[in-house]
Amino acid sequence: MSDTAIKTRSLSGQLIGGVLLAEMLCAALFAAVAIGHEMHGRRRSFDVMLRGRADSLMGAVQDAEDPEDNVTVDPTELVLPAQDVYEVMSPNGRVLGNSPGSSADQLAALTSSHTPGYFNFRAGRVHYRAVRFDGVRVIDREEHGGIRRIVTVVYASPTHDMWQEAVVAEWFYIVASILLLAVTALALVWFLRRRLSPLQELAELAGRVTTRSWEFLPPAAVLRTAELAPIALSMEELLKGLQQAFERQRQLTGDAAHELKTSITVLKSSLQLLSMAPRTVEQYEAGLEGLLQDTVRMEELVNRMLTLARLEEAPVDECATCNLQMVVRSIKERLQPLAELKQVLLMPACDDEPRFVAFSPVDADVLCSNLIVNALQNSSPYGRLWADVQAHGDMTHLRVEDQGEGIPEAALPHVFERFYRADRSRSRASGGAGLGLSISKAIVERAGGTIEIQSTLGRGTTVTVTLPAVPTPTRRASDMTAQSRTSSGD
Amino acid sequence: MRVLIVEDEARIAGNIAEALRQRCGYAVDCAENGQDGAAMTEFKHYDLLLLDLMLPGMDGLSIVRQVRRRKDMTPILILTARDQPAQVVELLNAGADDYLTKPFDLGELLARAKALIRRGKGAPHPELSVGRISLNTVEQTVRCAGELIDLSPTEYRLLEYLIFRPRAIVSAQELLEHLYDYNWQHHSNVIEAHISNLRKKLRAVGEETTIATLRGRGYRLEAPEQQA
């Protein structure tokens, strides 16, 4: 809101403006058509009136009672509007009579046209419409059976009144249109405000969402609006996903804090117990031994947490490859003493073909040792343990199978969750922090693979890692494999 | 006094148990998971329950609810690594008496444990007395009219247990249950032997307060002033 750099445009404002403009155009067009129609009718009646007045002027043509037996016009006998201009002429051009109040200019303009019919002209600032025709006037019908006289009549009347009258006649329509326009504008504003309220509601609702309160339940009015429903639903979906991600993060931070606090509690209480009373040298030595073990466990926990953080944040090394077969073999050799201690039989690999996958040597080592150490710790004495790398088509499978007591079915969906322990007391005793499988999963997914776990209580557990096979690498990559052999050997 | 610790982290449980045994002279039992812990509370042998909040099997809060539903008044001290106020409120409302956040101070834990046991038995002050005898639970010493009486740890524990309930009959079975943990080999006459020694030591300093044996019913700490 404070950012005034972006000029906001109101959707409802634009809609109202658009509709009103269209309405205004309609009203103007309507008025123009109405006035045009009115004008047409008036012009026709004007013409009829003009002809009527001209005819009555014609009727005023009479014998001049002079020797040439001429005719004349006596306008004084007629009642004609004072502003009208007219002239009566004989065929030879002689003026028989004209409007008494007219000026010479008006008369000159009147007689400028010589074609019979209606025409318009201007004299000074006044517009006129005129009619010119030749008529036959029969004079002295009683005396000699009538004398036929041909006269030309030109008659004009000013038209400004006609325009004024037309506008006055249409006035009602124009006022009605303007009123209608105002009423529809108000109605439109009200209607749009009302109809656009779901949009405002949606914006308000979205504004209330924070990282603390994720509640976003679109109201029914929004969901009923065809244009808004997809926006609201996708927002709801998005926020749900974000909330879950936030919750996971919060859970993880809480779990990490819990683990660290527990480790510190062990150290602190051990130290305080040791210093509570004077002890013998043997007691101090035993206490220090315990403290050292606690510190090693804490170091392990921190290392694993950092590994997980690195896996989640560091970019994937695109060209990393290593021979998984070799990594598994070297880890099995390294873990042979532990296997003997736990009386577990490490089974030899089925084949020894090099199988390359897109792991960095460090990641491959962490993954394989995690899985194999896990299997070793879960194995029952005299059990067998398989760790094989095999190819199926263009996929490489790593299978680690033990004959241990298995994992309860209820715990299986959670084993990849961070800090999850199916049996906490036992895992704690074996030094696990519930991060091994989470780390394994992160490594596998970074390389575009999948990890699955199957377990039967009392029978054993099988972890299967499926990875896209990488073609036998170039010289550079084989150098890296050699490197992995040395790094996993130490 | 006998304390139950329910804590899945064995090192923490071991350290607390050791401190309670050495510094307070309590008998201590440990449970590694919620179910075992909840089952052990049912014997009502304990004078204090120390519960971790996050436990495998059954969490501390559920154990608190279960104990209180039985109308068991045993004081409960909760250990938690998470200290959100809402959670603390929920815990206390469910019937827990106190809580400590990890990493805690072992000395503070011992002091709180003692205070809870004391208040659970209706004694607000750490010093208790009957007749001329006064027993200091902090120093773990017993004096008769200001004069220190030298008692063995077991004799002190016996007297401490009895002095919280003067004039009440306490059975030998109850004494066995509250003064020894599960690892101890029970001998039925051990209590009688310790009581007898305690009587002798009290008589030696001229104290008239004594522990009466009520055949087949138990023992009673009797102060002479009542009759006088």
CB atoms within 10 A of CB A244: 11
**Whether B8 and A254 lie within 8 Å, measured CB to CB:** no
CB atoms within 10 A of CB A367: 29
Given B23, B55, B101, which is nearest A276 (Cβ)?
Answer: B23
- Which pLDDT score, from 0 to 100, does residue A196 have? 81
Q: Within an 8 Å CB–CB cutoff, is residue B85 touching chain A?
A: no
A252-262 pLDDT, tens digit per residue, is 788 888 888 88
Given A254, A266, A424, which is nearest B11 (Cβ)?
Answer: A266
* Chain A residues near residue B20 by CB distance under 8 angstroms: none
Identical fold at B2-120 and B127-226? no
Given A261, A267, A423, which is nearest B81 (Cβ)?
Answer: A261
Rounded-to-integer distance, Cα A465 and Cα A416, Å: 13
Domain ranges of chain B: 2-120, 127-226
Domain A316-489, architecture per CATH: 2-Layer Sandwich (3.30)
Which option is the CATH number for A229-308: 1.10.287, 1.20.950, 3.40.50, 3.30.450?
1.10.287
| Chain centroid offset of residue A487 CA | 52
Question: In which element (H, E) is residue A183 found?
Answer: helix A160-195
**Whether A266 and B107 lie within 8 Å, measured CB to CB:** no
- Which pLDDT score, from 0 to 100, does residue A75 have? 67
Domain A13-167, architecture per CATH: 2-Layer Sandwich (3.30)
Residues 6+ apart with CB under 8 A from B30: B4, B5, B6, B7, B13, B14, B17
Strand stretches in chain B, DSSP E: 2-6, 27-31, 48-52, 76-80, 98-101, 127-130, 133-136, 141-144, 147-149, 210-214, 218-222
Given A270, A423, A429, which is nearest B56 (Cβ)?
Answer: A423
Q: Which two tokens stand for residue A61?
A: 């043509």
Q: Which residues pair with B144 in a beta bridge?
A: B133, B147
CB distance B178 to B45 below 8 Å:
yes
Strand stretches in A265-394, DSSP E: 322-323, 345-346, 356-357, 384-392
**Whether A254 and B82 lie within 8 Å, measured CB to CB:** yes
Domain B127-226 belongs in CATH node 1.10.10.10? yes
Rounded-to-integer distance, Cα A380 and Cα A343, Å: 8
Q: How many CB pairs under 8 A join A and B?
A: 74
Interface test with A, best of B6, B8, B99 (most A CBs within 10 A): B8
**Whether B107 and A277 lie within 8 Å, measured CB to CB:** no
Alpha-carbon distances of A52 from A91, A109, B68, rounded to whole Å: 22, 21, 119
**A214: buried, middle or exposed (CB in 10 Å: 19+, 13-18, 0-12)?**
middle
Contact map slice: B 106-125 vs A, CB within 8 A = 106-107
* Chain B residues near residue A270 by CB distance under 8 angstroms: 11, 15
Q: Which two tokens stand for residue A15?
A: 């809609």
pLDDT averaged over 10-residue windows placed end to end, chain B, 228 residues: 91 92 89 90 90 85 93 92 83 92 92 91 84 86 87 89 86 85 73 88 82 86 64
Instruction: Indicate where chain A has its CATH 1.10.287 domain(s).
Output: 229-308
Superfamily of domain B2-120: Response regulator (3.40.50.2300)
Q: Give the up-direction half-sphere exposure of residue A303: CA atoms within 13 A in the CB hemisphere.
A: 10
Q: Helix A475-489 to helix A361-378 angle, to the nearest 10 degrees?
A: 40
**A306: buried, middle or exposed (CB in 10 Å: 19+, 13-18, 0-12)?**
exposed
* Chain A residues near residue B106 by CB distance under 8 angstroms: 268-269, 272-273, 276
Strand stretches in A176-246, DSSP E: none
Rounded-to-integer distance, Cα A116 and Cα A14, Å: 57
Rounded-to-integer distance, Cα A175 and Cα A167, Å: 11
Share of chain A above pLDDT 90, in %: 9
Best CA proximity match to A376, nearest among A411, A399, A401, A409: A401
| Residue stretches of chain A with pLDDT short of 70 | 1-5, 64-69, 75, 140-146, 421-433, 473-490
| Chain centroid offset of residue A74 CA | 86
Q: Within an 8 Å CB–CB cutoff, is residue B187 touching chain A?
A: no
**Whether B16 and A269 lie within 8 Å, measured CB to CB:** yes
Residue with the two structure tokens 């310790």: B194
CA-derived radius of gyration, chain A: 55
Alpha helices in B59-167 (DSSP H): 60-69, 85-94, 106-120, 153-163
**Whether B15 and A421 lie within 8 Å, measured CB to CB:** no
User: ipTM greater than 0.85, yes or no?
Assistant: no
CB atoms within 10 A of CB B50: 28
A336: left (phi over 0), alpha (psi -120 to 50) or beta: alpha
- Which pLDDT score, from 0 to 100, does residue A211 have? 79
A221-230 pLDDT, tens digit per residue, is 888 888 888 8
Best CA proximity match to A398, nearest among A331, A308, A306, A456: A331
- Which pLDDT score, from 0 to 100, does residue A489 have? 40
